[in-house]
Amino acid sequence: MSKLSPLDAEIRDLFRFAAQRSMLPRFRALTDSEIEMKAEDDPVTVVDREIESFLTDALTKLAPGVAVVGEEAVHADKSVLGHLSDQSWIIDPLDGTANFTEGKEPFGIIIALADGGKAVAGWLYDPIADRLCHAKAGEGAFINGEKIKARTTGETPPVAAISRMFLTEDQCTEFDAKIAPHYTLTDIPRCAAEQYPRLALGQNDVSTFERTLAWDHAAGALWLNEAGGKVARPDGSDYRVDEHEMPGLLGASSPAIWEAFAQRMRA
């Protein structure tokens, strides 16, 4: 029988409340006035701001003295990033905002708890499926309280979900020559809260991430590693949440698939 720890149950309840109050009622119902552009192809909505404000208040009450680093707070004040080297909650209030604004799935909410620059717990929530992926360092990975182990697609060649969105022209050329011929390529979901589960649940085998912002990757990287997959920098070093400006992260459904892909990248 599945069972959530008190903290996991508390986070799940916060996710559910936020989704039911702010997110789901506005899905496919946003007005133009509720969407702004922070940069090209980087929208923010009233939903992002409402949920981040709610979760910031709730997590501060849950753990007074622990800093909160939210995506939108960082957009407003870059100095907030300094808390990532301390004990901190990390929030992505609406992961997959571009999908959400277009009335498409997937999208989700992500929270991580970090200490000393490393994630020690993480939660990824899919509000449509009511799916909670959660992990604590050294304790394994879970979905809705059930322990899981990462599995590959079993396909040959392996399935690679790769985005060219943030690659330079030279990087795209190199990818086409060195990587693409050896994998079955598939689209990315543009949502880390969905991409990491796909790497553990037999849907994708490997994925690369050029931007490695903590609110996108802290929880998912921990969860996939705890599931027995592998997430690391291309050189094999661990992902740290306070190295937010360092590009490049590689996730795979197994260490062997990770290593094979990394070798091709280094060749």
Q: Is 216 annotated as a binding residue?
A: yes
**Structure tokens that stand for 119 in this block:** 């994630």
Which tens digit of pLDDT belongs to each residue from 124-136? Answer: 999 999 999 999 9
In this predicted structure, the answer to whether residue 37 has a pLDDT above a threshold of 80 is yes
Strand order through the sheet with 249-252: 184-186, 159-161, 206-209, 249-252, 230-232
Tens digit of pLDDT for each residue in 73-125? 999 999 999 999 999 999 999 999 999 999 999 999 999 999 999 999 999 99
Tokens of 233: 């920098």
Asked if residue 92 belongs to a known ligand binding site, the reply is: yes
Mention every residue, 6+ apart, whose C-beta is less than 8 A from residue 234. Answer: 248, 249, 250, 262, 265, 266
Residue intervals of the chain classified under CATH 3.40.190.80 are 159-266
Does residue 95 have a known ligand-binding role? yes
Strand 206-209 with 159-161, pairing: parallel
Q: What is the pLDDT of residue 244?
A: 80
- Is 71 annotated as contributing to ligand binding? yes
Please, are residues 204 and 160 in contact by the beta-carbon 8 Å criterion?
yes
pTM for the model = 0.96
Q: Where are the alpha helices (DSSP H) in the chain?
A: 6-18, 46-62, 71-76, 97-101, 169-178, 192-200, 214-227, 255-266
Distance CA 31, CA 83 (A): 34
The pLDDT of residue 215 is 98
Answer yes or no: CATH 3.50.50.60 is held by domain 159-266: no
Flag whether 72 is marked binding: no
pLDDT of residue 166: 74
pLDDT of 1 above 70: no
**Bridge pairing between strands 118-126 and 108-115:** antiparallel
pLDDT at 2 > cutoff 80: no
Range(s) within the chain of domains with CATH label 3.30.540.10: 6-147
Of residues 267 and 59, more confidently modeled: 59
Q: Is the dihedral of CA 186, 199, 208, 68 positive or negative?
A: positive
Task: Render pLDDT for 214-257 as a digit per residue (tens, 0 to 9).
Answer: 999 999 999 999 999 999 999 999 999 999 889 999 999 999 99
Q: What pLDDT is recorded for position 41? A: 80
Q: Note the pLDDT tens digit of each residue in 130-173.
A: 999 999 999 999 999 999 999 999 999 999 999 887 778 888 88
Tokens at 218, concatenated: 């802290």
Which superfamily does 6-147 belong to?
Fructose-1,6-Bisphosphatase, subunit A, domain 1 (3.30.540.10)
What's the token pair of residue 62?
A: 């849950």
So what's the pLDDT on residue 167? 78
pLDDT of amino acid 3: 82
